[in-house]
Protein backbone atom coordinates (compact mmCIF):
# COMPACT_ATOMS: atom_id res chain seq x y z
CA UNK A 1 0.00 0.00 0.00
CA UNK A 2 1.40 3.38 -1.01
CA UNK A 3 2.19 5.85 1.74
CA UNK A 4 0.46 9.20 1.73
CA UNK A 5 2.93 11.71 0.25
CA UNK A 6 4.63 14.28 2.45
CA UNK A 7 5.42 16.75 -0.33
CA UNK A 8 4.21 17.58 -3.79
CA UNK A 9 7.47 16.24 -5.19
CA UNK A 10 6.70 12.91 -3.50
CA UNK A 11 3.20 12.95 -5.00
CA UNK A 12 4.51 13.59 -8.51
CA UNK A 13 7.04 10.77 -8.14
CA UNK A 14 4.28 8.46 -6.89
CA UNK A 15 2.02 9.41 -9.80
CA UNK A 16 4.78 8.53 -12.26
CA UNK A 17 5.25 5.09 -10.72
CA UNK A 18 1.49 4.49 -10.50
CA UNK A 19 1.10 5.37 -14.17
CA UNK A 20 3.94 3.05 -15.18
CA UNK A 21 2.36 0.22 -13.16
CA UNK A 22 -1.06 0.75 -14.74
CA UNK A 23 0.44 0.88 -18.23
CA UNK A 24 2.35 -2.34 -17.53
CA UNK A 25 -0.93 -3.96 -16.50
CA UNK A 26 -2.50 -3.07 -19.83
CA UNK A 27 -4.64 -0.05 -19.01
CA UNK A 28 -4.94 2.36 -21.92
CA UNK A 29 -7.12 5.18 -20.59
CA UNK A 30 -5.56 6.62 -17.48
CA UNK A 31 -6.32 9.60 -15.31
CA UNK A 32 -3.88 11.38 -12.96
CA UNK A 33 -5.43 13.99 -10.68
CA UNK A 34 -4.04 16.46 -8.16
CA UNK A 35 -7.19 18.22 -6.99
CA UNK A 36 -5.56 21.43 -5.78
CA UNK A 37 -7.02 24.65 -7.20
CA UNK A 38 -3.70 26.40 -6.56
CA UNK A 39 -1.72 24.22 -8.94
CA UNK A 40 -0.68 25.18 -12.43
CA UNK A 41 -0.55 22.31 -14.88
CA UNK A 42 2.54 23.18 -16.88
CA UNK A 43 5.22 22.62 -14.17
CA UNK A 44 3.50 19.41 -13.05
CA UNK A 45 3.38 18.15 -16.63
CA UNK A 46 7.05 18.93 -17.14
CA UNK A 47 8.03 16.83 -14.12
CA UNK A 48 5.60 14.08 -15.12
CA UNK A 49 7.30 13.58 -18.49
CA UNK A 50 9.88 11.26 -16.92
CA UNK A 51 7.11 8.64 -16.77
CA UNK A 52 7.49 8.02 -20.49
CA UNK A 53 11.23 7.64 -20.89
CA UNK A 54 11.94 5.13 -23.65
CA UNK A 55 8.49 5.59 -25.23
CA UNK A 56 7.54 7.56 -28.34
CA UNK A 57 5.46 10.25 -26.66
CA UNK A 58 3.17 12.96 -27.96
CA UNK A 59 1.92 15.70 -25.60
CA UNK A 60 -1.35 17.45 -26.35
CA UNK A 61 -2.98 20.50 -24.80
CA UNK A 62 -6.60 21.67 -25.09
CA UNK A 63 -5.74 24.83 -27.02
CA UNK A 64 -3.07 26.42 -29.18
CA UNK A 65 -2.03 28.89 -26.49
CA UNK A 66 -1.13 26.23 -23.94
CA UNK A 67 0.71 24.19 -26.57
CA UNK A 68 2.70 27.25 -27.65
CA UNK A 69 3.56 28.03 -24.02
CA UNK A 70 4.88 24.50 -23.50
CA UNK A 71 7.01 24.72 -26.63
CA UNK A 72 8.49 27.98 -25.38
CA UNK A 73 9.08 26.91 -21.77
CA UNK A 74 10.24 23.34 -22.38
CA UNK A 75 12.66 24.16 -25.18
CA UNK A 76 14.07 21.31 -27.24
CA UNK A 77 12.27 18.06 -26.40
CA UNK A 78 12.33 14.62 -28.07
CA UNK A 79 8.58 14.56 -28.67
CA UNK A 80 5.92 16.62 -30.43
CA UNK A 81 3.66 19.11 -28.66
CA UNK A 82 0.27 19.83 -30.21
CA UNK A 83 -3.24 20.99 -29.33
CA UNK A 84 -6.30 18.81 -29.78
CA UNK A 85 -7.83 21.40 -32.08
CA UNK A 86 -11.41 21.35 -30.71
CA UNK A 87 -12.83 20.59 -34.14
CA UNK A 88 -10.54 22.58 -36.47
CA UNK A 89 -8.63 19.51 -37.62
CA UNK A 90 -9.82 15.87 -37.68
CA UNK A 91 -8.63 14.42 -34.39
CA UNK A 92 -7.26 11.31 -36.11
CA UNK A 93 -4.77 13.56 -37.92
CA UNK A 94 -3.28 14.50 -34.56
CA UNK A 95 -1.99 10.95 -34.06
CA UNK A 96 0.99 9.71 -36.04
CA UNK A 97 1.75 6.02 -36.65
CA UNK A 98 4.92 6.28 -34.56
CA UNK A 99 3.12 7.68 -31.48
CA UNK A 100 3.22 5.05 -28.73
CA UNK A 101 1.56 6.98 -25.91
CA UNK A 102 -0.39 10.24 -25.73
CA UNK A 103 -0.32 12.63 -22.77
CA UNK A 104 -3.22 15.08 -22.65
CA UNK A 105 -2.65 17.91 -20.17
CA UNK A 106 -5.54 19.57 -18.30
CA UNK A 107 -8.50 18.83 -20.56
CA UNK A 108 -11.82 20.26 -19.37
CA UNK A 109 -15.43 19.19 -19.82
CA UNK A 110 -15.67 21.64 -22.73
CA UNK A 111 -13.25 19.49 -24.74
CA UNK A 112 -14.61 16.12 -23.67
CA UNK A 113 -15.99 15.31 -27.13
CA UNK A 114 -12.59 15.82 -28.75
CA UNK A 115 -10.89 13.93 -25.93
CA UNK A 116 -13.15 10.93 -26.48
CA UNK A 117 -12.43 11.05 -30.22
CA UNK A 118 -8.72 11.17 -29.43
CA UNK A 119 -8.97 8.07 -27.25
CA UNK A 120 -10.97 6.24 -29.90
CA UNK A 121 -8.50 7.22 -32.62
CA UNK A 122 -5.60 6.05 -30.44
CA UNK A 123 -7.01 2.52 -30.42
CA UNK A 124 -4.86 0.30 -28.22
CA UNK A 125 -2.28 3.01 -27.62
CA UNK A 126 -2.42 4.48 -24.13
CA UNK A 127 -3.85 7.94 -23.47
CA UNK A 128 -3.00 9.55 -20.13
CA UNK A 129 -5.09 12.49 -18.90
CA UNK A 130 -3.02 14.64 -16.54
CA UNK A 131 -4.87 17.05 -14.22
CA UNK A 132 -8.20 16.79 -16.07
CA UNK A 133 -11.01 19.18 -15.15
CA UNK A 134 -13.82 17.06 -16.55
CA UNK A 135 -16.00 17.42 -13.45
CA UNK A 136 -15.57 21.14 -12.82
CA UNK A 137 -18.65 22.73 -11.32
CA UNK A 138 -18.01 25.69 -13.59
CA UNK A 139 -18.81 23.64 -16.69
CA UNK A 140 -22.42 22.88 -15.79
CA UNK A 141 -23.48 25.19 -18.61
CA UNK A 142 -22.07 22.90 -21.29
CA UNK A 143 -25.50 21.39 -21.86
CA UNK A 144 -27.27 18.14 -21.08
CA UNK A 145 -25.94 16.19 -24.06
CA UNK A 146 -22.36 17.24 -23.32
CA UNK A 147 -22.75 16.28 -19.65
CA UNK A 148 -24.02 12.86 -20.69
CA UNK A 149 -21.00 12.45 -22.96
CA UNK A 150 -18.67 13.58 -20.17
CA UNK A 151 -20.17 11.16 -17.64
CA UNK A 152 -20.04 8.27 -20.13
CA UNK A 153 -16.44 9.02 -20.98
CA UNK A 154 -15.33 9.36 -17.35
CA UNK A 155 -16.52 5.80 -16.73
CA UNK A 156 -13.97 4.52 -19.26
CA UNK A 157 -11.02 5.99 -17.35
CA UNK A 158 -8.85 4.21 -14.79
CA UNK A 159 -7.84 6.67 -12.08
CA UNK A 160 -4.31 5.52 -11.39
CA UNK A 161 -3.41 8.47 -9.16
CA UNK A 162 -5.72 10.78 -7.22
CA UNK A 163 -5.08 13.12 -4.33
CA UNK A 164 -7.67 15.54 -2.99
CA UNK A 165 -7.55 17.48 0.28
CA UNK A 166 -10.74 18.00 2.25
CA UNK A 167 -11.40 19.88 5.47
CA UNK A 168 -9.18 17.97 7.86
CA UNK A 169 -9.03 14.89 5.64
CA UNK A 170 -7.99 13.62 2.22
CA UNK A 171 -9.02 11.16 -0.49
CA UNK A 172 -6.09 9.30 -2.02
CA UNK A 173 -5.42 6.56 -4.54
CA UNK A 174 -2.11 5.29 -5.91
CA UNK A 175 -2.45 2.36 -8.32
CA UNK A 176 -2.64 -0.55 -7.65
CA UNK A 177 -3.73 0.26 -4.09
CA UNK A 178 -7.36 0.78 -3.12
CA UNK A 179 -9.00 4.15 -2.62
CA UNK A 180 -8.18 5.57 0.80
CA UNK A 181 -9.76 8.16 3.05
CA UNK A 182 -7.37 9.66 5.58
CA UNK A 183 -7.97 11.93 8.55
CA UNK A 184 -5.59 14.71 9.45
CA UNK A 185 -3.84 14.02 12.76
CA UNK A 186 -1.45 16.81 13.65
CA UNK A 187 1.15 16.94 10.89
CA UNK A 188 0.27 13.47 9.60
CA UNK A 189 -2.67 11.60 8.10
CA UNK A 190 -4.32 8.48 9.52
CA UNK A 191 -6.00 5.90 7.28
CA UNK A 192 -9.68 5.50 8.22
CA UNK A 193 -11.14 3.71 5.19
CA UNK A 194 -10.24 1.69 2.08
CA UNK A 195 -12.70 1.07 -0.74
CA UNK A 196 -12.43 -0.46 -4.24
CA UNK A 197 -14.12 2.60 -5.79
CA UNK A 198 -13.73 6.31 -5.14
CA UNK A 199 -15.95 7.32 -2.22
CA UNK A 200 -18.12 10.31 -3.08
CA UNK A 201 -21.21 12.06 -1.78
CA UNK A 202 -23.05 10.42 1.09
CA UNK A 203 -20.60 7.52 1.23
CA UNK A 204 -17.70 9.88 1.84
CA UNK A 205 -19.77 11.89 4.33
CA UNK A 206 -20.54 8.70 6.24
CA UNK A 207 -16.89 7.63 6.38
CA UNK A 208 -15.83 11.01 7.75
CA UNK A 209 -18.77 11.22 10.16
CA UNK A 210 -18.07 7.81 11.64
CA UNK A 211 -14.38 8.65 12.05
CA UNK A 212 -15.03 11.97 13.77
CA UNK A 213 -18.06 10.90 15.86
CA UNK A 214 -17.49 7.18 16.57
CA UNK A 215 -19.87 7.13 19.56
CA UNK A 216 -22.75 8.82 17.82
CA UNK A 217 -25.83 6.77 16.86
CA UNK A 218 -27.07 9.41 14.45
CA UNK A 219 -26.86 8.09 10.89
CA UNK A 220 -28.32 11.17 9.18
CA UNK A 221 -25.14 11.97 7.39
CA UNK A 222 -25.20 15.06 5.24
CA UNK A 223 -28.09 16.71 7.14
CA UNK A 224 -25.90 19.24 8.88
CA UNK A 225 -25.82 17.29 12.16
CA UNK A 226 -22.33 15.92 11.62
CA UNK A 227 -19.57 17.70 13.52
CA UNK A 228 -17.56 20.17 11.51
CA UNK A 229 -14.07 18.96 10.79
CA UNK A 230 -11.46 21.44 11.90
CA UNK A 231 -10.24 23.91 9.35
CA UNK A 232 -7.18 22.24 7.87
CA UNK A 233 -3.75 23.54 7.29
CA UNK A 234 -4.32 21.56 4.12
CA UNK A 235 -1.21 19.51 3.45
CA UNK A 236 0.99 21.86 5.44
CA UNK A 237 4.15 20.26 4.10
CA UNK A 238 2.94 20.82 0.52
CA UNK A 239 2.32 24.54 0.74
CA UNK A 240 5.75 25.80 -0.23
CA UNK A 241 5.69 23.55 -3.29
CA UNK A 242 2.23 24.82 -4.19
CA UNK A 243 3.43 28.39 -3.92
CA UNK A 244 6.53 27.66 -5.98
CA UNK A 245 4.61 25.95 -8.76
CA UNK A 246 1.88 28.59 -8.80
CA UNK A 247 4.25 31.55 -9.03
Count the domains in the chain: 1
Rounded to whole angstroms, how far apart are CA atoms 210 and 213?
5
Question: Domain span at residue 86?
Answer: 1-247
Give yes or no for residue 48 having a pLDDT over 70. Answer: yes
**161 and 30 Cβ atoms separated by less than 8 Å:** no
Residue 193 β-bridge partners: 181
How would you write 139-197 as a 3-class SS string? Answer: HHHHCHHHHHHHHHHHCCCEEEEEEEECCCEEEEEECCCCEEEEEEECCEEEEEEEECC
Return the pLDDT at 81. Answer: 95
Helix ranges restricted to H, the chain: 8-24, 41-48, 64-74, 112-122, 144-154, 201-212, 239-246
pLDDT (tens digit per residue) in 178-198: 999 999 887 788 999 999 999
Return the pLDDT at 222. Answer: 45
Average of per-residue pLDDT across 139-166: 80
Which CATH number covers residue 159? 3.40.50.300
Return the pLDDT at 143. Answer: 67
Secondary structure element (H or E) that encloses residue 34, with its range:
strand 29-34
Return the pLDDT at 242. Answer: 52
pLDDT band of residue 238 (cuts 50, 70, 90) is: low
Average pLDDT taken over every residue of the chain: 84
Return the pLDDT at 141. Answer: 52
Rounded to whole angstroms, how far apart are CA atoms 241 and 127?
27
pLDDT (tens digit per residue) in 125-144: 999 999 998 876 455 555 66
Rounded to whole angstroms, how far apart are CA atoms 177 and 3?
10
Question: Is the pLDDT higher at 123 or at 241?
Answer: 123
Rounded to whole angstroms, how far apart are CA atoms 109 and 137?
10
Amino acid sequence: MAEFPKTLEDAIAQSCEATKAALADGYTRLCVEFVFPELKAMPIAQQFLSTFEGMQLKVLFPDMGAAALARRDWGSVPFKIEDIGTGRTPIADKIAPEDEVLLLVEPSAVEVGEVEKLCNAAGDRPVVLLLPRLEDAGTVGIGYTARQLRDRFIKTLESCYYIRPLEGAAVFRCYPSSWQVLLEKGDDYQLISETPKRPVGEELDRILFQATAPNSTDTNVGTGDAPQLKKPGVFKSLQRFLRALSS
